[in-house]
A = this chain, B = another copy of it.
Amino acid sequence: MKAKPQIVKAGPRSQAIDPLLQGAITPAGTPSPEAVQKAGAACVRRLPAYLQLLRVLQGEGHEHVSGTVLASTHNLEPVIVRKDLAVTGISGTPRLGFRVTELIAAIEAFLGWNNQTKAVLVGVGNLGTALLGYRGFENLGLRIAGAFDSDPKLIGTWVQGRHVQSMPKLPPFARRLGITLGVLTVPVAAAQEAADLMVRAGILGIWNFTPVKLQIPDGVVVQKEDLAEGLAVLSHRLRHSRS
């Protein structure tokens, strides 16, 4: 799905990484070096759903779960589930399925959710506040360790139990704690500037909740999260599903 940006005009160094070299690379990884490379985005997106259900089952004391069950709970085909789980390197046993605890550990390891990653959040508005207060992140290996905003009226206050700091404090804060992940929830007009600051702070991954296409250097990963996308799909299905 993703591909190399081959268009690139006047770029000094266009080629960054050659995907063909992957064989030589050793991710020093926990899960499964090769499977990791093969995992497509579609598969990765489904893993959290499995994880969520697995945790419920674990809480209920189940030792095993079959791909069939995982599938039917999420309206998927069992084959898809088995294929998805294959990327974690775990294999199940016929008639029993997969070991729940083993699967949980494997998925968490695959996504890097086994040990918590710290993040900073920039933009303590409506959405930022909501994310700060969201309890579910601890299950996703995420811990928002610092909140930042440029509004003088917000700076110094406490939001969802977090101290809101001024923007200039972001780089030293991130560097001191070794934080490499940033959540961007500022208004459109401030998005690029805030992203630049994040980059300067050593952030390597930006979870971008603004509809802005950020200009960022190679090596920094941006994940866009746009509510409009989901709403568009819903609207479209509503209009055209019934016929």
Q: A residues within 8 Å of B by Cβ?
A: 3, 5-8, 11, 13-14, 17, 22, 25, 27, 36-37, 39, 41, 44-49, 51-52, 72-75, 77, 110-113, 117, 126-127, 129-130, 133-134, 136, 140-142, 160, 180-181, 204-205, 207, 211, 213, 219, 221, 223, 225-243
Which chain B residue shows the least CB distance to A141?
B235
The listed residue (B44, B47, B75, B231) touching A213 by CB distance below 8 A is: B75
Q: B52–A228 contact, CB under 8 A?
A: yes
Q: B207–A231 contact, CB under 8 A?
A: yes
Residues of the B chain whose Cβ atoms lie less than 8 Å from the Cβ of A111: 232, 235-236, 239
Q: Give the Cβ gap from A69 to chain B, nearest Cβ, in Å.
A: 12
Residues of the B chain whose Cβ atoms lie less than 8 Å from the Cβ of A160: 126
Q: A241–B229 contact, CB under 8 A?
A: no
- Within the oligomer, what is the number of copies of this chain? 2
Which chain B residue shows the least CB distance to A25?
B243
Q: B48–A238 contact, CB under 8 A?
A: no
Q: B228–A48 contact, CB under 8 A?
A: yes
- Given contacts A136-B228, A213-B74, A232-B111, whether A11 and B130 have CB atoms under 8 Å apart is no
- Given contacts A5-B75, A232-B45, whether A205 and B237 have CB atoms under 8 Å apart is yes
A140 to B73 CA separation, bound complex (whole angstroms): 31
